[in-house]
Amino acid sequence: MAGLVEAGCPVYQALQIMARAKPALKLTAVIAAIAGGDKLADALSCNLPPMAIGLIRIAETNGTLVASLRRLADYYEEQAELEGKIISALIYPLTVIIVGLMVLGGVVFWLLPMFSGLLLETGGNLPWLTRSLLALPKIAPWLFGIMVVGILFLTYYLRRNQNWWLYVPLLGLAIRQNIQLQYCYALGAMLAGKVPLTQALQIIIDINTWPEYQAKYNRLLSAVNDGAALSQAMQNEQLCQLEICQVVEIGEKSGKLASALTGVARQLEREKEQQIKRWLVLLEPLVTLLVGIFVGLVALAVMLPMINLVNAIQ
């Protein structure tokens, strides 16, 4: 939509073009609302998140709709690109894990039972590893049931205690960095679109989903309403690293706060991409090693009775 409006296409016509090109967007109600005299922000209120609605509403008032739509497009494109990079980085490790589990499942639940009679005929005491694998198909339904119950309980617990994720080693750090990235991007985009700081912070509160940060953002907004500088309030709440707060402080003093926040967000994005690459370099050989160990254990469980039988014959 940003591209169409930038090219001089009226908003109403741009929405009609998008509705024909992408029926999945379900813009019929939006087009009807605008035809009935509603403003764009009101018409899109059920289709877009609060940040986008707030930015569009302000833009319609001060005549900066085209620039604001471009900022929103850039923001969501950056978010989609980052998510795509994360998914792409996880494809190979997940593929290795899935293929490895399928191979192990085929060996344990299909191939090994075929040879179970032969293995039992070797007589004597089978190695504990072999006995464990032979018993696995029998106890698999119980293990599956326990796993399902465990997953349901864990899902319920994590929904009730969402902040727990923030303290998981490595993962918690990545989540906090992503929250900082989204905060800087969103706040920078809204300030660039002439949204007042306090209103922008309220929108940040509305779109946040982490209870711990909800409390931080509420205290941040209260401090700013009381006259505190944004950088100092951010530092007091430990929302970002000290160097980020210092950049924000410079932006406040120079009158270029929106540019400072956007620059910080881009730097955080580059750091996150580098971090993903480092994790991927470590994850790929680790996953391959674990799958190799499991396959080796299965092969050892099959071969040990035969080796014992050969040794007994000799």
Whether residue 122 is predicted with pLDDT greater than 70 in this model: the reply is no
Whether residue 1 is predicted with pLDDT greater than 70 in this model: the reply is yes
Q: pLDDT per residue over 58-79, tens digit each?
A: 777 777 788 888 878 887 887 7
Q: pLDDT per residue over 196-208, tens digit each?
A: 899 889 988 888 8
> What is the structure's pLDDT at 123?
54
Alpha-carbon gap, residue 162 to 94, rounded angstroms: 25
Q: pLDDT per residue over 21-45, tens digit each?
A: 887 777 788 888 888 888 888 888 7
Reported confidence tier of residue 118, pLDDT bands at 50, 70, 90: low
Relative orientation angle of helices 211-225 and 230-237, to the nearest 10 degrees: 150
Reported confidence tier of residue 257, pLDDT bands at 50, 70, 90: very high
> Do residues 187 and 210 touch, judged by C-beta distance below 8 A?
no
CA 42 to chain centre: 29
Whether residue 223 is predicted with pLDDT greater than 90 in this model: the reply is yes
> What is the structure's pLDDT at 236?
93
Region 126-132: mean pLDDT is 77
Mean of the per-residue pLDDT values of the chain: 82
Say which CATH topology domain 70-314 has.
Receptor-associated Protein (1.20.81)
Pick the more confident residue, 286 or 50: 286
Region 130-146: mean pLDDT is 80
Whether residue 260 is predicted with pLDDT greater than 90 in this model: the reply is yes
| Domain definitions of the chain by residue range | 2-69, 70-314
Q: pLDDT per residue over 11-23, tens digit each?
A: 878 888 888 888 7
